C-alpha cells in the first residue's frame, strides 16, 4: 500500500472502498454501498438530557454517551451528516415560563410528547436523504425507544421525499395506527409504495438501555418498535444492575422468536444511568460508562461510520474499582418487582469487561433460562484469563476488546484498504490494548505480515505512525522473526512536513529538553544513548524506547 495513498486518506479524502470492505462482515445488509453514498446519523438523548454550551449533558451537567458519540463524529461533510435531538422532558430548557416547566414535568412522567422527537428526526432525514445514503440511529433510554420507533416508521410508511414536512404528522399517525385494522395497514402500505423515496431503509441502530416509559404510566408500544428484523444491523447495550420497575428494558431477544438479522444485545455492568453516561467519569479510560460507548462506537465503525481522531487510553485498572450507581431510591421499592433484577434471555451476551471487576461485584440481573450459571466463574478472573476456560460461558460472552482472535480481522482492515485517520487510530489502539493482555502479544505476533502492515503507515500523520511504532516494538519483543524484520529500517522521507510532524511528536513524548540534548549528538551516539536511557528512567514503558530508537535513527532527530 503506497504511502501517498494513505496520506491522502488520513488527510480526510473519501477512501474508495473502505465501506465495501467493512460491509463484508454484514452479508445480510441490504444497504449496498454506492459511489457518493453518505452516512446520515441521528442521535437522540435520554430523558431530560439536552445540549448545554454545545455539549449534551445529563442530570449532573456532564457529557452523556449519546453526546460523546455525537461529538466524536466529524463535522458535517460531503460524506457524513449528523443530527442531535434533546431528550424527552428537556425542550426549551432555557425558558422558565410556567407552561414550559409544567409541560416538561408531564413529559418526564408519561412521555406525552414522545412523537415530537420521532417526527422531528424523521423530518431531518426526509430533507437530507438521497438514494444510496445509509441511515444510522443512536439513542439512550426513551431516546433509544424513539430511534427504534423512527426505524419502524420508516419501515412502515417509508421516508417521504424532501419538501413534504407538512405531511409528516399525518405519516406518523398512519404509522402509529397501522395495526388497528386491515384498512389502516393498507393505508400505510400505500403511502410507502406511492409517496415515499424508493429503497430508503435503516442501516444501523445503536441504543443504550431502551425503555419506553419512565414514570407513572406504561404506554402502549408503537408498532414494530420492539422488533429489529427490518434493521440491517442492530446493537443494544443493557444495564446489569438496573432494578426499577418502570425501567424495564425493551429487548429484541425476549425469550420468544430470535431476531433474524444481524442483531446483538449485550449486558454491561452498571445501572441505567451508568450505561447512558452523564456521571462525569473520564472518557479517556475504561470504566462502566465508557465501555458501553467504546463498544457501540466500534460496532458503528465496523458498519461504515467515520469518527474523528480521538486520543484515549484503554486500561482496565478503573474497572477493578467499578461501583454501579444505585438505581433504587425510596418510593421505588414500593412498586411491583420491589427492586428485583432484570432477566437475561437466551441469545443475549455478557460483556467480558465484567471479568475485570473486583470479585465482590454481584450483578442484579439473573439468567431467565439458565439459573445455575455461576457469576463467580467470570467476575474477578479477567487478568488471569481463567474466565475464558469455562464451557458454560463460551457462547455467552461478548469479548469485544478482549477478543484475541480478532487480531487478524483488525490487521486485515489496516492491510486491505486506505482508511480514515480516526479509524486507523481506533484499530491500532485496540490492537495495542489486546497485546497488553495475557498472551495478547503472542496473538498479535501470530498474524501473518502484521509487521509489514504496521510499517506501511506514513509519518505524515504522526499519531498513527507512533501508534504503529508501539505495536512494532511489542511485536519485536514477542517474536524473533518479527524482531529481525523490525530491524529493517522504515522508509525515510525527505519531506520537510513529515520531519516537522515527527519532531512535534518527539517533543510531546520525550520533552523538549531531552530532544534538544539528543539532537546535538551524532547518529551513532544517539543510538547508543537511547540504549541506556531505561537505566536512567526505569519507570518509562519499554515500548517508548523502541519508538524513540526508530525516530532517532531514521529521522535524524
409-463 pLDDT tens trace = 999 999 866 678 889 999 999 999 999 888 888 899 999 889 999 998 888 888 8
Average pLDDT over the chain reads 77
Predicted confidence at residue 312, as pLDDT, reads: 75
User: In this structure, what C-alpha cell is assigned to residue 315?
Assistant: 486500561
Predicted confidence at residue 328, as pLDDT, reads: 52
The verdict on 284 and 430 lying in the same domain is no
Give the pLDDT band of residue 151 (cuts 50, 70, 90). Answer: very high
The verdict on 298 and 425 lying in the same domain is no
Kindly state whether residue 381 falls inside one of the protein's structural domains: no
Q: Of 296, 321, 346, which closes a domain? A: 321
Percent of the chain with pLDDT over 70: 68
Give the pLDDT band of residue 193 (cuts 50, 70, 90). Answer: very high
The verdict on 317 and 433 lying in the same domain is no
How many structural domains is the chain composed of? 2
CATH number at residue 262: 3.40.50
The verdict on 315 and 454 lying in the same domain is no
Kindly state whether residue 338 falls inside one of the protein's structural domains: no
Q: Looking at 105-119, 174-188, 485-499, which range is the least confident one?
A: 485-499
Unique residue bearing C-alpha cell 455478557 = 350
Percent of the chain with pLDDT over 90: 46
Collect all residues with Cβ–Cβ distance below 8 Å to 476 and sequence separation of at least 6: 482, 483, 486, 546
Of residues 481, 454, 446, 479, the one with CA closest to residue 547: 454
Q: Can you give the residue range of the structural domain that contains 515?
A: 418-555
Of 3-12, 241-250, 488-497, highest mean pLDDT: 241-250
The verdict on 313 and 198 lying in the same domain is yes
445 neighbors 478 (Cβ within 8 angstroms): yes
Residue 18 has pLDDT above 70, yes or no: no
275 neighbors 306 (Cβ within 8 angstroms): no
Rounded Cα distance between 350 and 238, Å, is 9
Mean pLDDT over residues 516-521, rounded? 46
User: In this structure, what C-alpha cell is assigned to residue 83?
Assistant: 443530527
Q: Of 295, 321, 347, which closes a domain? A: 321
Q: Looking at 74-83, 309-318, 370-379, which range is the least confident one?
A: 309-318
The phi, psi pair for 425, rounded to 5°, reads: -65, -40
> How does strand 262-268 pair with strand 233-239?
parallel
The verdict on 424 and 313 lying in the same domain is no
Kindly state whether residue 365 falls inside one of the protein's structural domains: no
Q: Looking at 65-69, 210-214, 470-474, which range is the least confident one?
A: 210-214
Q: What global pTM score does this model have?
A: 0.80
Collect all residues with Cβ–Cβ distance below 8 Å to 122 and sequence separation of at least 6: 150, 153, 154, 159, 168, 171, 172
Q: Of 287, 321, 355, which closes a domain? A: 321
Predicted confidence at residue 156, as pLDDT, reads: 97
Residue 499 has pLDDT above 50, yes or no: no
Of residues 329, 177, 323, 324, the one with CA closest to residue 246: 329
Kindly state whether residue 66 falls inside one of the protein's structural domains: yes
Kindly state whether residue 549 falls inside one of the protein's structural domains: yes
The verdict on 317 and 422 lying in the same domain is no
Residue-wise pLDDT for 25-78, tens only, equals: 455 576 766 677 899 999 999 876 556 555 544 455 688 999 999 999 998 787
DSSP states of 318-340? GGGG--PPP---GGGGGSTTTTP
Kindly state whether residue 520 falls inside one of the protein's structural domains: yes
Residue 154 has pLDDT above 80, yes or no: yes
Comparing 192 with 221, which gets the higher pLDDT? Answer: 192
Kindly state whether residue 487 falls inside one of the protein's structural domains: yes
> How does strand 55-57 pair with strand 50-52?
antiparallel
Residue-wise pLDDT for 179-192, tens only, equals: 999 999 999 999 99
Give the pLDDT band of residue 557 (cuts 50, 70, 90). Answer: very low
The verdict on 211 and 88 lying in the same domain is yes
Kindly state whether residue 33 falls inside one of the protein's structural domains: no
The verdict on 304 and 423 lying in the same domain is no
Residue 484 has pLDDT above 60, yes or no: no
Comparing 324 with 72, which gets the higher pLDDT? Answer: 72
Comparing 124 with 326, which gets the higher pLDDT? Answer: 124
Residue 17 has pLDDT above 60, yes or no: no
Residue-wise pLDDT for 389-410, tens only, equals: 888 998 999 999 999 999 999 9
Amino acid at each position: 500500500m503506497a504511502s501517498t495513498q494513505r496520506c491522502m486518506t488520513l488527510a480526510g479524502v473519501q477512501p474508495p472502498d473502505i465501506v465495501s470492505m467493512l460491509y463484508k462482515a454484514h452479508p445480510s445488509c441490504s444497504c449496498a454501498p454506492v459511489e457518493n453514498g453518505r452516512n446520515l446519523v441521528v442521535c437522540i438523548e435520554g430523558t431530560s438530557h439536552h445540549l448545554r454550551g454545545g455539549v449534551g449533558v445529563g442530570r449532573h451537567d456532564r457529557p452523556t454517551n449519546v453526546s460523546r458519540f455525537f461529538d466524536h463524529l466529524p463535522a458535517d461533510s460531503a460524506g457524513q451528516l449528523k443530527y442531535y435531538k434533546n431528550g424527552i422532558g428537556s425542550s426549551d430548557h432555557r425558558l422558565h415560563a410556567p407552561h414550559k416547566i409544567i409541560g416538561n414535568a408531564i413529559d418526564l412522567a408519561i412521555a406525552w410528547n414522545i412523537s415530537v422527537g420521532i417526527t422531528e428526526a424523521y423530518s431531518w432525514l426526509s430533507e437530507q436523504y438521497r438514494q444510496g445514503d445509509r441511515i444510522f440511529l443512536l439513542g439512550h433510554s426513551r431516546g433509544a425507544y424513539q430511534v427504534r420507533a423512527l426505524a419502524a416508521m420508516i419501515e412502515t410508511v417509508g421516508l417521504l421525499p424532501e419538501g413534504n414536512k407538512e405531511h409528516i404528522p399525518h405519516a406518523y399517525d398512519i404509522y402509529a395506527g397501522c395495526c388497528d385494522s386491515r384498512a389502516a395497514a393498507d393505508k400505510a402500505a400505500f403511502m410507502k409504495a406511492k409517496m415515499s423515496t424508493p429503497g430508503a431503509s435503516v442501516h444501523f441502530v445503536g441504543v443504550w438501555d431502551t425503555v419506553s416509559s419512565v414514570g407513572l404510566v406504561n404506554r402502549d408500544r408503537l408498532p414494530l418498535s420492539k422488533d429489529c428484523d427490518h434493521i440491517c444491523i442492530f446493537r443494544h447495550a443493557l444495564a446489569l444492575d438496573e432494578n426499577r420497575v418502570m425501567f424495564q428494558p425493551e429487548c429484541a431477544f425476549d425469550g420468544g422468536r430470535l431476531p433474524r438479522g444481524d442483531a446483538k444485545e449485550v449486558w454491561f455492568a452498571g445501572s441505567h444511568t451508568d450505561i447512558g453516561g452523564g456521571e462525569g467519569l473520564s472518557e479517556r479510560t475504561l470504566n462502566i460508562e465508557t465501555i458501553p460507548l467504546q463498544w457501540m462506537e466500534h460496532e458503528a465503525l465496523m458498519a461504515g461510520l467515520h469518527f474523528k481522531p480521538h486520543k484515549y487510553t484503554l486500561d482496565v485498572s478503573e474497572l477493578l474499582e467499578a461501583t454501579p450507581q444505585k438505581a433504587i431510591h425510596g418510593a421505588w421499592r414500593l412498586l411491583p418487582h420491589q427492586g428485583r433484577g432484570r432477566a437475561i434471555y437466551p441469545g443475549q451476551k455478557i460483556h467480558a469487561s465484567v471479568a475485570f471487576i473486583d470479585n465482590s461485584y454481584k450483578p442484579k440481573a439473573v439468567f431467565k433460562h439458565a439459573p445455575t450459571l455461576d457469576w463467580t466463574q467470570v467476575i474477578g478472573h479477567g487478568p488471569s484469563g481463567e474466565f475464558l476456560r469455562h464451557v458454560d460461558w463460551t457462547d455467552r460472552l461478548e469479548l469485544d476488546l478482549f477478543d484475541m482472535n480478532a487480531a487478524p480481522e483488525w490487521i486485515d482492515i489496516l492491510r486491505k484498504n486506505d482508511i480514515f485517520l480516526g479509524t486507523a487510530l481506533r484499530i491500532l489502539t485496540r490492537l495495542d490494548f489486546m497485546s497488553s493482555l495475557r498472551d495478547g502479544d503472542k496473538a498479535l505476533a501470530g498474524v501473518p505480515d502484521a509487521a509489514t502492515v504496521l510499517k506501511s503507515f506514513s509519518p505524515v500523520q504522526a499519531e498513527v505512525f507512533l501508534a504503529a511504532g508501539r505495536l512494532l516494538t511489542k511485536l519485536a519483543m514477542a517474536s524473533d522473526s518479527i524482531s529481525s524484520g523490525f530491524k529493517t529500517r522504515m522508509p525515510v522521507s525527505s519531506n520537510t512536513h513529515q520531519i516537522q510532524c515527527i519532531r512535534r511528536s518527539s517533543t510531546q513524548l520525550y520533552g523538549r529538553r531531552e530532544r534538544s540534548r539528543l539532537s546535538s549528538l551524532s547518529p551513532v551516539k544517539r543510538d547508543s544513548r537511547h540504549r541506556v536511557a531505561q537505566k536512567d528512567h526505569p519507570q518509562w514503558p519499554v515500548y517508548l524506547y523502541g519508538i524513540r530508537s526508530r525516530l532517532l535513527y531514521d529521522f535524524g532527530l
